[in-house]
A and B are shown apart, each in its own frame.
Chain A
Amino acid sequence: MIKIKEKKFEEIVDSIEGFKKILVLGCGGCASVCLGGGQKEAECLCVNLNLFFKSETSSRTARGYTIERQCNIAFIEETCSFITQFDAVLSMACGAGSQYMAEIYPGIPVFPAVNTIAIGIDREIGVYEEKCRACGDCVVGYTGGVCPVTRCAKGLFNGPCGGTNKGSCEIDSNIPCAWVDIYNRLKAQDRLGNIMKIRPSMEWQNQTPRTVVQKR
């Protein structure tokens, strides 16, 4: 799922400067699962903002509310009855969710309260690891289930590069070289043939927002 992390409090406060009534909008989907922007986190941010407003001796207020998803109109709808009571929205959903909120409410400024970090896995509760960069043309079928776009610092499709260093990446000895992992896995599965052919590089140019339409 999508992994997010709350922005620094100072940055959040900066972004909403000048706005009086703030709606802190949690997201019950991925944001909630990775403990970054669900109801609990939204209420907590709210408490901290209200304490801050109090210390400013201003009459500004923050209110918390959480909907099940910010990436689906069926769940955003719930907010339309009260959103106009607010001057600004602090969205705790991923970038997709906060942009959709902004699209639905053209007149209300929507600010992200979180950074969208990754498509990742749950290593343990509270520990998440990036696994995919949504490149749109998955190659892990050839690379032994290891993503070179995400794991290789250079995103090489025909690795490793000359800098590979005893199993580590040349940019940091603590980072395992993705291509060594790819090689080892394929070798263990007797599939080294998969990486013998040169693979053309990804067409990153002229990327436009992608839309998915499943045909069945």
Chain B
Amino acid sequence: MKSSPNYNTLVDSQNAGIDNHNTYVHDQNDNDQNDNQDTVIKNNSVCTEQINAILNEKKKEIAMALKVCARCTLCADSCFLYRSRERIPEYMPSHKFITSLGVIYKKKGKVTLDELLHMRDTLWKRCVLCTRCYCPLGINIPVLLALGRRILRSQGIYHLYSVPESISHD
């Protein structure tokens, strides 16, 4: 398995669909009024190769984290969002990386668009990447969550702040 990153893939990956100049600029001029969270998705498919290129770069760290996490829930209380969201398990730092990056990794990048869209909520709405969570076993959870975001970004999936949202506790 190649462990050195494919730089071009990395850089190209976030440019998926960037040649579609007109559409993109038009979207901008159209003001984001008509946007919904999904308009950023440039093509309706997932590129497993791109995802795997990123996964391979951090293979060791991901595998180690998934192996080492004892589900002890000690990281839970270090997350202010978890504490302020009535301790809903979905906000637990470990839960967040296991159900996002963990799933992508276990499925070897073979995830569907729907799965990635679902993970977007976990990775953006349930974590602000404040980097304050603490794992007694030394797992760097925010870095793993950021990696999850990076994979989603590579597929053109990220949270759109231009779309109004009712304040929810989901």
Residues of A within 8 A of B (CB): 23, 28-29, 32-35, 38-40, 43-44, 46-48, 51, 63-69, 72, 74-75, 78, 81-82, 85, 125-126
Against A, the Cβ 8 Å flags (1 = close, 0 = not) of B131-145 are 100000000101100
What's the nearest-Cβ distance from chain A to residue B3, in Å? 11
Chain A residues near B7: list those with CB within 8 A: 81-82, 85
Alpha-carbon separation in the docked complex, A74 to B129 (Å): 10
Could you pull out 24 A-B pairs where Cβ atoms are within 8 angstroms? A28-B129, A28-B149, A33-B161, A43-B18, A43-B24, A44-B25, A46-B18, A63-B12, A64-B14, A65-B11, A66-B14, A66-B153, A68-B129, A68-B150, A74-B142, A75-B129, A81-B5, A81-B7, A81-B57, A82-B7, A125-B32, A125-B162, A125-B163, A125-B164
Chain B residues near A67: list those with CB within 8 A: 146, 150
Task: Tally inter-chain residue pairs, CB-CB below 8 A.
Answer: 82
Alpha-carbon separation in the docked complex, A126 to B57 (Å): 36
- Cβ-defined contact, A72 with B24, below 8 A: no
- Cβ-defined contact, B143 with A43, below 8 A: no
- Cβ-defined contact, A65 with B161, below 8 A: no
Q: Out of B5, B11, B15, B162, which one reaches A43, CB within 8 Å?
A: B15
Q: What's the tally of chain B residues with a CB closer than 8 Å to chain A?
A: 30
Residue B107, interface by CB 8 Å: no
Residues of B within 8 A of A (CB): 5, 7, 10-12, 14-15, 18, 21, 24-25, 28, 32, 40, 57, 129, 131, 140, 142-143, 146, 149-150, 153, 158, 160-164
Q: Of all chain A residues, which has the CB nearest B7? A: A82
Q: A35-B162, A82-B5, A125-B161 are contacts. A43–B25 as well, Cβ < 8 Å?
A: no
